Amino acid sequence: MAENEDADLLPTVESFADGVDVVDNVYDQPGIETLEGRMGLLLQGEEMQSHFIEMPQGMFTPEHAHETESIIMTLRGEWVLCADGDRRLMTAGDIFHFGSGVPTGYEVPPGFDEEALLLVFKGERSDGSRAGFVEYLTEEMNPHLEEQREQGTPFTFEDLAADHPAKEFAASLADE
């Protein structure tokens, strides 16, 4: 992807002072559509970075591990966190941590009122550049997820069997 095309997919970062960068309004930043939701880089520090994930209603991401640990805060909406087959409702203001190599899943049942917006903090940078984040999503992650889908991995509630635990948990929330 050309550098000028990448610019449309990256936030505008203001260098407020030496060593201080600011991104105005994380809610309006550009992102890249993936099977796991719309993702966009926010800031990169020397040894860390932050990005967002906006997950649409009906999205299902099975438990999967990441190489690095993360702290994730729910900024908007509701969604379901899955770990070790257990499920927990997450709402705006909730925050959680997972360690490196720990599988977690993310679900937004169709009956939820709005998309969920998550703010992700990683203790390591995914790449040495902002454009590298875009390249990772478009050239590595998206093709990998599409290949998984072609091999039968579900990415929406519509893809799940009627008795799938995610659907059963979502139904139990609707009954409350």
Can you tell me the mean pLDDT for 26-47?
93
Its pTM stands at 0.91
* Record: fold of 3-139+153-175: Jelly Rolls (2.60.120)
Alpha carbon distances (Å) from 12 to 28, 144, 150, 161: 11, 28, 35, 42
Closest CA to 136 of 150, 122, 149: 122
Mean predicted lDDT score pLDDT of the chain: 92
Q: Where do the structural domains in the chain lie, given as residue ranges? A: 3-139+153-175
Dump pLDDT digits (tens) for 130-147.
Answer: 888 888 899 999 999 999
Q: pLDDT: is 132 or 55 the higher one? A: 55
- Asked if residue 3 has pLDDT above 70, the reply is no
DSSP 76-96: ESEEEEEETTEEEEEETT-EE
Q: How confident is the model at residue 103 (pLDDT cuts 50, 70, 90)?
A: very high
